[in-house]
């Protein structure tokens, strides 16, 4: 049996899980609940994008929110009505100023745009490995954030870029999340994915097996950059406004902690980490808003969700360092997968 046939049940199960969430949102008829599920789908896209690189290469990246930033602003440039762009972003070149694409086309270009920059940065960064690579990705994030926070005429600096068409339908987000899952699966069972995991686990033997680790890391970096860019574009369409700090440290922390909790070495872990932690966060949001029992209202202080995320992440790291899924994948048979990458 081919490796695709052997492992296809994993992305199928994950897609079914996401479809079930979408149907719940639709049938609930509740707008806030719909938005909650959209947020979950966005995080699935971002955390799966992160997994494509981190899970297969073993290099922790603190920089991927930078690709989300590139994608989010690309969506803004491509989809805000020209009239508004003229006042908000006067420095855009004419062809871009006069262009207005539908959101989905903007998202595709956003993915390509982020992938191009992933290729540029990755060309240099992917020669590094381990902690040096991680720190370099963080430097990349800081650079992107600084440029977008200062380039007034095309990014409005730290002011909000408003007027991004808001997409409220849940389906585009669902489709994009499922697409991200299948892209991650396809990469992980490809020769590039297998080679990269071999280089992650035993770099010396991988080199002696003909594997060019920096090249394979670069491939994963570009693909994950594209997924993060697409996620950034949809993120922008879900709230209608972007600032550089939308895509900075908080987002880095949230996506990384979800990946760590779910299990860095597992696609199923990436998706489940998002779903479980988002559920937890949502529960805490309700508590923050206050719960009335009889005549008393219990409310927990603001900011507790980040603290809780941190606590959960630390607990997982201490008790189950490879995360909930611990390098294994959901599949029909429950047989041990021959390649734990998927």
Binding residues for another protein, rule: CB under 8 A, are: 2-3, 189-191, 194-195, 198, 201-202, 204-213, 327, 336, 338-340
Least distance in angstroms from the C-beta of 213 to another protein: 8
Residue placing its CB nearer to another protein in the complex, 152 or 202: 202
What residues have CB less than 8 Å from 283, skipping those under 6 apart? none
- 218 with 116: CB under 8 angstroms? no
Q: What angle do CA 286, 254, 139 make, to 5 degrees?
A: 155
Distance separating alpha carbons of residues 156 and 323, to the nearest angstrom: 40
The answer to whether 94 and 306 are in contact (CB under 8 A) is no
Distance between first and last Cα of the chain: 15
Return the number of the residue (11 or 229) whose C-beta is nearest another protein. 11
What gap in Å lies between CA 16 and CA 209, rounded to an integer? 38
CB of 125 to another protein, least distance (A): 18
State in angstroms the smallest separation of the CB of 64 from another protein: 25
C-beta closer to another protein: residue 59 or 195: 195
Does residue 161 sit in helix, strand or coil? strand
Q: What is the smallest separation between the CB atom of 341 and another protein, expressed in angstroms? A: 9
Is the alpha carbon torsion for 99, 102, 103, 109 positive or negative?
negative
* Closest separation in Å from C-beta 4 to another protein: 9
Minimum Å distance from CB 188 to another protein? 11
| Closer residue to another protein, CB minimum distance, 152 or 212 | 212
Tell me whether residue 98 or residue 209 sits nearer to another protein (CB atom).
Answer: 209
Residue with Cβ nearer another protein (116 or 326)? 326
- Are 61 and 54 in contact, with CB atoms under 8 Å apart? yes
231 Cα distance to chain centroid = 6
User: What's the min distance (Å) between Cβ of 338 and another protein?
Assistant: 5
Whether residue 184 contacts residue 41, with contact meaning beta carbons closer than 8 Å, is answered with no
How far is residue 131 from each of residues 55, 58, 265, measured CA to CA in Å? 15, 10, 17
Q: Which residue number, 25 or 198, has a Cβ lying nearer to another protein?
A: 198
Give which of 51, 82, 69 is closest to 113, Cα–Cα. Answer: 69
């Amino acid at each position: 049996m081919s490796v695709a046939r052997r492992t296809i049940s994993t992305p199928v199960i994950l897609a079914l899980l996401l479809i079930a969430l979408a149907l719940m949102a639709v049938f609930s008829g509740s707008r806030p609940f719909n938005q909650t599920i959209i947020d979950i789908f966005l995080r699935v896209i971002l955390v799966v994008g992160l997994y494509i690189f981190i899970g297969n290469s073993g290099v922790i990246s603190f920089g991927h929110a930078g690709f989300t930033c590139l994608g989010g602003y690309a969506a803004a440039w491509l989809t805000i009505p020209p009239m508004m762009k003229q006042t908000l972003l006067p420095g855009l070149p004419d062809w871009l100023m006069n262009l207005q694409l539908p959101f989905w086309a903007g998202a595709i270009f956003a993915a390509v745009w982020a992938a191009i920059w992933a290729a540029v940065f990755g060309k240099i960064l992917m020669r590094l490995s381990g902690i040096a690579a991680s720190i370099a990705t963080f430097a990349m994030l800081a650079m992107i954030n600084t440029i977008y926070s200062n380039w007034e005429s095309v990014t409005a600096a730290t002011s909000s870029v408003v007027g991004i068409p808001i997409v409220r339908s849940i389906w585009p987000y669902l489709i994009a999340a499922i697409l991200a899952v299948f892209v991650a699966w396809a990469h992980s069972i490809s020769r590039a994915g297998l080679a990269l995991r071999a280089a992650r686990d035993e770099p010396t033997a991988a080199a002696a097996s003909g594997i060019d680790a920096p090249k394979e890391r670069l491939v994963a970096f570009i693909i994950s950059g594209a997924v993060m860019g697409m996620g950034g574009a949809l993120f922008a369409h879900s709230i209608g406004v972007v600032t550089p700090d939308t895509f900075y440290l908080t987002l880095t922390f949230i996506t990384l902690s979800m990946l760590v909790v779910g299990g860095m070495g597992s696609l199923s872990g990436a998706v489940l980490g998002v779903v479980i932690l988002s559920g937890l966060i949502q529960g805490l949001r309700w508590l923050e808003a206050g719960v009335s029992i009889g005549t008393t209202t219990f409310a927990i202080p603001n900011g507790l969700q980040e603290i809780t995320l941190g606590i959960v992440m630390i607990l997982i790291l201490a008790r189950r360092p490879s995360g909930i899924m611990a390098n294994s994948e959901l599949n029909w048979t429950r047989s041990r997968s021959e390649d734990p990458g998927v």
